[in-house]
Amino acid sequence: MYGSSGIITNFLGAYQMSDMAIRYSRFIPLAYNLAKSLGFERGKIMPSRAFCSDESQGYPIILIAKHFGSFPFNHGRVGGIVATDRHAPHAHHGKDLVIIQASHVGYDPENGRFGVYRRLQTEDASETSSCGKICGALDWYLREFEFARENIFLYQEDGQHKVVIDNLLLHAEREQGLILKLDKIIQLDADGNPVPELSRSTAKTFSASPALFDYLGDYDWKPGPGEAIGRRLNPDLFYFKRDISDQQEGRDHLENNLLDVMSYIVSSEWPALAAAQVNTQVEFDRTFRTIIKEPAYKNKKILFMSGLNVDISPQEGQVFPLTKFIPWAAYVQDEDGNHQTWEQAELYEQLQAQSTENPDQLDLEMAIDIMERAEEIHLPF
């Protein structure tokens, strides 16, 4: 999927964000009415959600229950990974089937930061990372990236452009770490090997490659001793090696989803947002194929929608986040096996064509009251 840097960039850039966000209070009735427009039968729809386990995902779950008339089946693992081994149980729980998959990222509107969320139940209503699984997976890569940015130096001497690189970063044979694409950074000999012009105790000095000038653009090379490359370390100039398990839906599944594009994620303005976006895209691509192959889904109506949940931290007087859904893609199947995939723009248009009015929605307070007033049933123990 990621055969070249151009393909990687296009993959990330394909997810349009700014004009696609829908408040959950609108999205879920739109989704319900979309299912109805596809012939899904009222009262026979079993919704399922593949969300992270964070409490911030509770508000969307409540809305799903309200509009679909059923508490949703749980299809998700931490981080928004889809538990594909739950397809068959889901299929057995309803006539018509809806799956909503979403990775999530927190957002604090007061400082414009993605990747944090105000936890009202903490002692001081403090902000913590969100999604914690995604942010935890990024920590190691961000530290490696920060080290590289602070330990590659640029300077000029007598009109010659020089690059100083820490010795650790020159060891491409490392089993894990940030690995530089040296051919794009320094001049190599005829055999493709780096030839230092000066060896220091912890670093070596090289002549800059012509390719580096293209990546640095109009950077003003200053006389020695050198300036750290910092944020000018372009994602095309490095990649990561990481010793992680490749077990499907295992502990490192999310990290594997991100690894091929990790240099672009850590270089982005909001790494947690970029990571959640990528995970959503990869999980849709993976999951819709497992739906097609699942025998229990044969002869079933299915609407599988994938997107990104943005959890806007609750403000004074709010109990729940103002969560927004940014759709990515959908898979639609009828009972005869005919199926199609909707890309982002088409899914958004299909949703917006629906009404936000849902006459079938439950009055949750009334439903709870009915259960409270129901005659007691004694268990035969």
Report yes or no on 301 lying in a domain: no
Q: Same structural domain for residues 231 and 163?
A: yes
| 157 and 121 in a common domain | no
38 & 83 share domain? yes
CB atoms within 10 A of CB 224: 13
Do residues 235 and 282 both lie within one domain? Answer: no
Residues 364 and 285 in one domain: yes
Domain with 183, as residue range(s), is: 149-241
pLDDT, position 10: 60
Query: What is the per-residue pLDDT across 134-144, written as a single tens digit (0 to 9) for each?
Result: 999 999 999 99
Q: Is residue 134 a part of any domain in this protein?
A: no
Arithmetic mean of pLDDT, 260-264: 96
For residue 375, is it within any domain? no
- In terms of domains, do 358 and 281 share one? yes
Are both 123 and 157 inside the same structural domain? no
**Are 283 and 249 within 8 A, CB to CB?**
no
The count of structural domains within the chain is: 2
Looking at the structure, tell me whether residues 157 and 227 fall in a common domain.
Answer: yes
Residue 128 confidence (pLDDT) above 50: yes
Q: What is the pLDDT of residue 101?
A: 98
The predicted-structure confidence for 195-228, as pLDDT tens digits, reads as follows 899 998 999 999 999 999 999 999 999 997 889 9
Give the whole-angstrom CA distance, residue 170 versus residue 187.
13
How many Å apart are CA 131 and CA 140, to the nearest integer?
A: 16
In a domain, residue 331? The reply is yes
Tokens of 141: 């890569």
Please tell me the pTM assigned to this model: 0.91
Among residues 196, 225, 241, which one ends one of the domains?
Answer: 241
> In this predicted model, what pLDDT tens digit does every residue of 84-125 receive, in sequence order?
999 999 999 999 999 999 999 999 988 899 998 888 777 777
Residue type at 311?
A: D
User: Are residues 354 and 285 part of one domain?
Assistant: yes
